[in-house]
Amino acid sequence: MTRIGTVVEVIIDSPGLALDKPFSYYAPEHQTASVQAGQRVVVSFHHQHKAGIIWAVRPNEEITDNMKPLLDVVDEQPVLTREQLELAEWLCTRYVCTLNDALSAILPGAFRVKGKMTVRLGTSVDVPDDVLATPLWKYVADHSPSVKEVSAKFGRTGKAQLDAWLEHGFLVQHLAIQEEVKASVKNWIVAEKPSSALLAAAQNREKRARRQADLLRQLAESDRGEIEWSRRVYNKGTVAAVVSEGLASVDERPTSRLSWVEVPAAVAPVLTEGQSRVVSRIGMTLDAGKHQTYLLHGVTGSGKTEVYIRSIEATLQKGKSAIVLVPEIALTPQMVGRFYARFGERIAVLHSGLTMGERRDEWGRILRGEANIVIGARSAVFAPVTRLGLLIVDEEHEPSYKQEESPHYDARDVAIRRSETFGAVTLFGSATPSLQALHLVEQGQAQILMLPVRANKRPLPRVDVIDMRDELREGNKSLFSSRLADEIEATVSANQQVILFLNRRGYAASMLCRACGERIRCPHCDISLTVHRQGGQMSLRCHYCAYEEPYRANCPACKEPALRAFGIGTEQIEEALKEQWPHLRVLRMDVDTTRTKGSLQRIVEGFERREADVLIGTQMIAKGLDFPHVRLVGVIAADTMLSVPDYRANERTFQLLTQVAGRAGRAETDGVTIIQTYRPEHFAITASSRHDFQTFYQEERSQREVFRYPPFCEMAVFLASHEDERLARGAASRFERELRRASLPDDVAIIPASPSGIQRIEDKFRYQVVLKYQHWDSVRAVVDGAFRLVKLKMNQYGGACRLDVNAQRIG
């Protein structure tokens, strides 16, 4: 017999390609009216309880005999919007990932649920006293355990006992939903009678019930006839008494655990001419309500943030929402504070520094429309706004907008995609736009807006390039050129601050034996161990796995005491600085000093309060920080960035040099930047020293075009890894063969299977295949098919495969 009912398509929360499709369940009678796409559910799947998301609801469908019911619907309201579900589907086709991967990228992990079948006491049958007296009964009463837990504790006889009791109806099965964290709620007391009635009732109880009278009076005097229920002020009894007489009711409302640092409200500065030109241009597009991508190219300190703020104001006036993406590292309380000072609690923040609970609550505030400005790192591009008007990507050139795990999405792509859907404006901002973004401008897919001068009209810092070969010739073996040393002294004695930049953490890049040439490597990875020195203790660490070994003076190969550290790191600068100028107060900011929560902020604030003269740092310090007292920026070795084997090395060098130079002279004095290098003639260095973006861009653009690198093609990088080198190589070769067998367009280039840049990490060998193409649509089906085929096989052999579409880097 066939039945007609509501069929629900569910995406099961489980990794793996095998489950990568919606599965059909039916909604029980009492839920047919309430099930909606985007709700979380629990279903039974191969005798297990699995969480999932409703993908689609199909009413009036035939329910087949083998179809199972939904076991539970977790949410009253969906946690994902329809547009987000469509976005998930788009992610799958754009980046070759499973639907579950796509949904997990969009929905914070804080929303994860587990279903657990438990046993608990029945209520409909009288239970004999001898049963009530058993330890097993007590255990069930206290713990509501799963059958498995009972078996583990009471063995086979316990399990048999349990089954019998279930049969008799003494116990019942119950599906318990375990949420990772629950939404936090606050209780409000809401007036149910007019103020006059409340005041009269208050007078009535003045003598006999003081607290009730207080409550009624406070309620009568409140603006909106409601007050937040603080248990410290009114206890349960007081509130219950007032509620029982129909004077008030209690309303439970969701709230956020995230508390704000109080920032005083700020007044808007008068815009500079440049800023107002840009703001009105964006405003006109917002008025038109049509999608448009802008690239705001504004030099360091040009006041891009103020442009963002004004454009957000214009967006809110249209009743729409805005999202602002900032690199994770730049998302400091200072940065958020600038927005908070202007918009107050209309902003929500989303980043990895939040606790699970905070993330969940902020998501809820956005979903309910309580917050209509979202500030966050990469994944905030997925924030559940329903009326997107403006999507800003600050520091657009940052590589961190590309996610390195599956799905390998690029937040800038997603930003454009979502803006198109909503007819919203995408605004990319940078002092050093990426070649990718400029390519969009050249292709007519984005329009450029310029802010060529600093907001305070001060000049950009003077940049001097020092050839370190000259220093050596003159016998200066220190890390600091004599010019940099002079400037450090001059700056500090003028009571100004110094930033020293080096893009390498640790004490030294590697240990090399001068007797036999041996380089000390990680036993598990194909990479040199980095030298670290903490509290005078030297040790060698692998930056790719957790391996660490103590420093030994003798070479492991030839046993000679000839080991020497090569390639300076930030720790060594700190040491040299303290040796040369013992009185200097120094702070260091890199991955090693900012591991613990709040440490990054402590360093930033300490430097802001001038508790240090010098801040040493890696690329972390180059981003968006606005320190008014910094006069001097020193780049210790520009070459470390140039020598990275990456087609973007020139671009990254130019960007980092320009960004870090931009930290100098932002307010009080003119800035000075000194770049030390062994390659002073390199165009990335000369162009950045002259603030000459055009020359750099033209040169780099033509190199990319000639050698065919993005943005002049798109790349997909396939990577196979396995402990057995033959299997890793085999998988890559198989992927390559599959591609070559298919008929791909002529413009596609396949770079043969070869070891990846680091051939082995954590004892796994890595082989890759790189594909260059013009249009993803023309290769997608073939690549997707080949990938699934090889990946399934590789997983059976205990290896892993990944595919990075629109890859920004190789290997």
Ligand X SMILES: Nc1ncnc2c1ncn2[C@@H]1O[C@H](COP(=O)(O)OP(=O)(O)OP(=O)(O)O)[C@@H](O)[C@H]1O
662 interacts with ligand X by CB under 6 A: yes
274 binds, among Zn ion, ligand X, none (CB under 5 to 8 A by kind): none
3-state DSSP assignment of residue 249: strand
617 binds, among ligand X, Zn ion, none (CB under 5 to 8 A by kind): none
624 binds, among ligand X, Zn ion, none (CB under 5 to 8 A by kind): ligand X
**Token pair in block for residue 301:** 């300190």
265 binds, among ligand X, Zn ion, none (CB under 5 to 8 A by kind): none
433 interacts with ligand X by CB under 6 A: no
481 backbone φψ class: left, alpha, beta (φ>0; ψ -120 to 50): beta
CB of 266 to ligand X, least distance (A): 9
Q: How far apart are CA 441 and CA 515, in angstroms?
A: 55
Q: Contact at 8 Å (CB) between 552 and 537? A: no
What are the φ and ψ backbone dihedral angles of 533, each rounded to 5 degrees?
A: -140, 110
Among 38, 115, 274, 301, binds ligand X (CB under 6 A): 301
CB of 700 to ligand X, least distance (A): 20
Known binder of ligand: residue 97? Answer: no
Q: Contact at 8 Å (CB) between 374 and 385? A: yes
CB of 776 to Zn ion, least distance (A): 34
Among 557, 749, 781, 792, binds Zn ion (CB under 5 A): 557
Known binder of ligand: residue 801? Answer: no
3-state DSSP assignment of residue 33: coil
Q: Contact at 8 Å (CB) between 762 and 751? A: no
540 binds, among Zn ion, ligand X, none (CB under 5 to 8 A by kind): none
Among 212, 285, 300, 619, binds ligand X (CB under 6 A): 300
Give the residue among 702, 787, 717 at the shortest CA–CA distance from 756. 717
Site for ligand X in 303-332 (CB under 6 A): 303-306
CB of 519 to Zn ion, least distance (A): 10
520 interacts with Zn ion by CB under 5 A: no
673 interacts with ligand X by CB under 6 A: no
Show the site string, 436-475: x = touches ligand X by CB under 6 A, - = not: -------------------xx-------------------
Among 108, 283, 624, 799, binds ligand X (CB under 6 A): 624
CB of 144 to Zn ion, least distance (A): 45
Between vectors from CA 134 to CA 133 and to CA 139, what angle results, nearest 5°? 110
CB of 756 to Zn ion, least distance (A): 15
**Token pair in block for residue 335:** 């940065």
The residue count for binding ligand X (CB under 6 A) is 19
Q: Contact at 8 Å (CB) between 147 and 119? A: yes
Of 295-303, 415-423, 472-480, 773-781: span binding ligand X (CB under 6 A): 295-303
**Token pair in block for residue 103:** 């949904």
Among 71, 258, 271, 545, binds Zn ion (CB under 5 A): 545
Of 223-231, 555-563, 773-781, 785-793: span binding Zn ion (CB under 5 A): 555-563
Among 272, 292, 321, 372, binds ligand X (CB under 6 A): 272
Q: What is the three-state SS of 761-775?
A: ECCEEEEEEEEEECC
626 binds, among Zn ion, ligand X, none (CB under 5 to 8 A by kind): ligand X
Give the residue among 811, 759, 767 at the shortest CA–CA distance from 525. 759
Of 297-305, 351-359, 521-529, 546-554: span binding ligand X (CB under 6 A): 297-305
Give the residue among 208, 209, 217 at the shortest CA–CA distance from 237. 209
- Of 547 and 683, the one with the shorter C-beta distance to Zn ion is 547
Of 172-180, 287-295, 541-549, 714-722: span binding Zn ion (CB under 5 A): 541-549
Indicate the length of the chain as a whole number: 811
CB atoms within 10 A of CB 223: 6
What DSSP string describes 129-173?
A: HHHHTSHHHHHHHHH--BHHHHHHHHHHHHHHHHHHHHHHTSEEE
511 interacts with Zn ion by CB under 5 A: no
- Of 458 and 701, the one with the shorter C-beta distance to ligand X is 458
What DSSP string describes 71-126?
A: -EE--SS-SS-HHHHHHHHHHHHHHT--HHHHHHHHS-GGG-EEEEEEEEE-SSS-
Among 39, 98, 104, 275, binds ligand X (CB under 6 A): 275
305 binds, among ligand X, Zn ion, none (CB under 5 to 8 A by kind): ligand X
Known binder of ligand: residue 542? Answer: yes
Residue 350 carries which side chain, given as an amino acid letter?
Answer: L
Bridge partner list, 748: none
220 interacts with ligand X by CB under 6 A: no
626 interacts with ligand X by CB under 6 A: yes
Among 525, 739, 770, 810, binds Zn ion (CB under 5 A): 525
CB of 329 to ligand X, least distance (A): 13
Q: Contact at 8 Å (CB) between 558 and 515? A: yes
569 interacts with ligand X by CB under 6 A: no
302 binds, among Zn ion, ligand X, none (CB under 5 to 8 A by kind): ligand X
What are the φ and ψ backbone dihedral angles of 566, each rounded to 5 degrees?
A: -125, 150
CB of 534 to Zn ion, least distance (A): 19
Residue 493 carries which side chain, given as an amino acid letter?
Answer: S
- Of 258 and 271, the one with the shorter C-beta distance to ligand X is 271
Instruction: Tell me which long-range contacts 265-271 makes (C-beta under 8 A, separation of at least 24).
Output: 265/341, 265/342, 265/344, 266/338, 266/341, 266/342, 268/306, 268/309, 268/310, 268/342, 269/306, 271/306, 271/310
CB of 628 to ligand X, least distance (A): 7
Among 256, 302, 503, 756, binds ligand X (CB under 6 A): 302
Among 189, 392, 431, 555, binds ligand X (CB under 6 A): 431
Q: Contact at 8 Å (CB) between 297 and 451? A: yes
20 binds, among Zn ion, ligand X, none (CB under 5 to 8 A by kind): none
Among 74, 271, 485, 713, binds ligand X (CB under 6 A): 271
758 interacts with Zn ion by CB under 5 A: no
Which residue's entry shows tokens 């006839």? 225
What DSSP string describes 702-726?
A: HHHHHHT-TTSSEEEEEEEEESSHH
Give the residue among 647, 808, 809, 803 at the shortest CA–CA distance from 736. 803
Binding-site sequence positions: 513, 516, 522, 525, 542, 545, 555, 558
Contact residues for ligand X (CB under 6 A)? Answer: 269-272, 275, 298, 300-306, 431, 455-456, 624, 626, 662
Binding-site sequence positions for Zn(2+): 513, 516, 522, 525, 542, 545, 555, 558
Contact residues for Zn ion (CB under 5 A)? Answer: 513, 515-516, 518, 522, 524-525, 542, 544-545, 547, 555, 557-558
